[in-house]
Structures are given as structure tokens and as C-alpha cells.
Amino acid sequence: MPQADTPPAAVAEPPAMHRLVSIATEDRPLVLVKGERSEAALARQAVFLKMSAREEAALATQGEGLAFKCRWIIEAYHQRDFCFTSITGQTACTEPMTRILTETEAGETLSGPDAPCGLELPEVARASDRLGAIVQARSAVLFKAEYEQRVRPGLLASGVKLTERPPARAATSPTSGSGTR
């Protein structure tokens, strides 16, 4: 009786590698008043990088192993949300609103046994540092414009009186960019 051929083993696709890196944040304390009621609020904003790398099919042999194409992309995002403190002292935040910014870096390089595909590749680290510096430099302007053009008008349209306090100093992440500094 003939034996059926054993099907080839399923080749698992290599996992994609991802990382989110905070670049800058701003917390702007507010007091909202409507009628006799008031509540403390916090308008929060952040910019961050989303980094991804993915190893693709083998291209050729390289020394003792195979060479792979490693594709990577780094995208900049802006996020904002509101947090409110109740009279009981409990704080709750809204669902964050996130939008992609125009700044992005992407590339591809060979990876193999001596340089595996990942976010730690020198090309990715340099691009992350470059993009992180660009986004950090414009974050204060971005935060101010977002507050003045969207946040403040939206709150005032709801009928509240708004008392603004200066924003907490914009913070930068100790791991801004690639985290390799």
C-alpha cells in the first residue's frame, strides 16, 4: 500500500516587533464651572513614536546562515484625553483620541545571524533618534495649538466657564527616541 506524502511542516511567520516610545507630555489643569457645580479637570496631551520591524523571507545565504530582509517603520502620533476628579477624589479619564502626525521614517536592511532583525538595529536607532528630536522640538507648539483650536472651544461650547491654570512643565521621556541614548 503506498504511503501518503507527509505534508511539509507549516512555516511560522516571524513575529513583528513593536515598541511605543513616549516623547513629550503635557498636563493642563482646569477648573470647570457650570451653575453651582465645579469640577477639576486635566487636559492631557502626549506625542509618541510607534516603532515596528518585520523580518521577511530569506533572500540568500550569508556566511553560516540565511540573510533576511528586515523592514522597519517609525510613525509619530499625538494623543489627548481628559481626566476629571469627582468630589470623592476619584479620577476618571475619557477614551484617548489619537491621530497620526506627518513625521515618519521607514527603511529596510539585511539581517542575519550577526545582526538579527529588530528595533535595535543601528539604522532603526538612528532614525528613531532623528524622528524623536523632530517631534520633541515641535511638541510645545502642537500642544498649544491643539488646546486653543480644539480643547478650549469644545469645553466652552458645552456651556462651562473655564478657569485655566498654566500647564505642568512639558515632560520628556527618559527613553525618548530609540532608548539607546
Chunked into runs of 10 residues, the chain (181 residues) has average pLDDT values of 58 67 95 89 95 82 72 96 86 94 92 80 92 96 94 92 75 44 31
What contacts 151, CB < 8 A, 6 or more positions away?
43, 80
Instruction: Give pLDDT, residue 11.
Output: 54
Scan for cell 536607532, then name that residue: 125
Computed from CA positions of residues 53, 54, 59, 62, in that sequence, does the dihedral angle turn out positive or negative? positive
Backbone angles phi, psi at 89, to 5 degrees: 90, -5
Instruction: Give pLDDT, residue 180.
Output: 36
Instruction: Give pLDDT, residue 4.
Output: 58
Instruction: Give pLDDT, residue 47.
Output: 97
What contacts 134, CB < 8 A, 6 or more positions away?
76, 103
